[in-house]
Amino acid sequence: MVGNTFGRIFKVTTCGESYAGGFRKNLDVPQELFGGLMTIVDGVPPGIKLTASFVQNELDKRRPGRTKLDTPRNERDKVYIFSGVMEDDITTGAPVGMIISNAVVEDEHLNKHKSYKEFVRPGQAGYTFFKKYGQFADNIGAGRASGRETAARVAGGAVAKAVLDNMGIDVIAFITEIHGIKAENVTYETAKANYQKNEINCPDLKASELMTKELLKIKEEGDSCGGVVEIIARGVPAGLGEPVFDKLQATLSHAIMSIGAIKAVEFGDGFEHTKMRGSQSNDTPYIDEETRRVRFKTNRAGGILGGISNGEDIRIRVGVKPTPTINISQDTVNMYKEENVNIEFNTRNDPCICTRIYPVCEAMVRIALLDALYVAKGYRAISQNIDVRWDKL
């Protein structure tokens, strides 16, 4: 398996699976070493304050089993930082390494997943993993295709947040739609004021009540639903991104679309541009009298022009599909026997992934933006000092 690292200079590498370590329970090792997830972050600058509690705060946003809207799998997701910081919690410039152990690996759940290994679970990656990796693919809880894999991303994103906070760059994600129920007129200020004020993390408090009722109804029926998550990045300077293959929206799309369950992404007004004229679509520039910088009267472009950030808020909307694991009988296939069957996959699941995927979106956007900052600042340092001799750098 390849493709477990994201980034060019600021790099995040993850490993681990949904139920990794379940088979080690009877060995003479501490529970924290049964198995789980690991994150290595390369390119962390020295001198950044980074504590386990800071990373834990981000992990707790996506931690399962916290509310009635989550999967009942109650993992603690306790993080251990084992490299890259000294005893004063200041980064040294070395790679930051973190471990998140799997604590909930009971035989009851392991055996249930094993009993389903021959069947294609509709909406999941079991069939494609089988075609790619054959009989050796991890078939317990979807392995690397499990949503649990995202905990390692959130840990990496927390490190990026620690750096971006020092640069005045804020990334916030929130839910604006669940199963067709939409939030109205959400601004950055509204999102900040109402951040995590409800279990759905919808800044429109009235809409959140309707969303919660809808989710509980769907959960009672054994089904699931999808929704929309919006991300806003404020404080991003103009000039990030490369204008051809590595456009900023391309890099951000790569980061976001690498998250399982996300099926669509749009920037600014997205598909609404297809209904506009150019005179409506264009963002009109002006000189801000206070800063003497170019600003834009509207932000339909979502903060990116020509693949490069323009200094306005970067606004992204992502479409999240329904949780594929549902407690309803479905037609499917036995891959081993090559026959059609009907079966109910009765395992633990979230009625909607949105309630726990928004911190993953925050993490991946932070990682992508910080990496773009490294590239832009490195390029600028060289291009503005082109006459400097290399042997004096």
Q: What residue has token string 């804020």?
A: 170
Going along the chain from its start, the domains and CATH numbers come out as 5-268+303-392 (3.60.150.10)
Q: What is the mean pLDDT of residues 22-41?
A: 76
Reported as type and span, the H/E element at residue 127 is helix 126-133
- Predicted local distance difference test score (pLDDT) of residue 387: 57
- Predicted local distance difference test score (pLDDT) of residue 393: 39
Question: Three-state SS string across 8-51, please?
Answer: CCCEEEEEECCCCCHHHCCCCCCHHHCCEEEEEEECCCCCCECC
Residue 107 or 64, more confident: 64
- Predicted local distance difference test score (pLDDT) of residue 285: 96
- Predicted local distance difference test score (pLDDT) of residue 267: 98
- At 275 the three-state DSSP class reads helix
Looking at the whole model, is its pTM more than 0.85? yes
Residue 228: pLDDT above 80? yes
- Predicted local distance difference test score (pLDDT) of residue 143: 80
Residue 22 banded pLDDT, cuts 50, 70, 90: low
Rounded CA gap, 244 and 234, in Å? 24
Rounded CA gap, 357 and 151, in Å? 10
Residue 322: pLDDT above 60? yes
Residue 388: pLDDT above 60? no
* Helices 52-62, 150-165: crossing angle, 10 deg rounding: 130
- Predicted local distance difference test score (pLDDT) of residue 392: 43
The residues near 293 (Cβ < 8 Å, ≥ 6 apart) are: 287, 311
- Predicted local distance difference test score (pLDDT) of residue 305: 98
Indicate the range of 23-32, 46-55, 69-78, 246-255 predicted with least confidence.
Answer: 23-32
Backbone angles phi, psi at 72, to 5 degrees: -75, -5
- At 80 the three-state DSSP class reads strand
The residues near 3 (Cβ < 8 Å, ≥ 6 apart) are: none
Reported as type and span, the H/E element at residue 162 is helix 150-165
- Predicted local distance difference test score (pLDDT) of residue 254: 98
Indicate the range of 177-186, 218-227, 257-266, 383-392 predicted with least confidence.
Answer: 383-392
Residue 368: pLDDT above 90? yes
Residue 348: pLDDT above 90? no
Residue 68 or 369, more confident: 369
Residue 315 or 136, more confident: 315
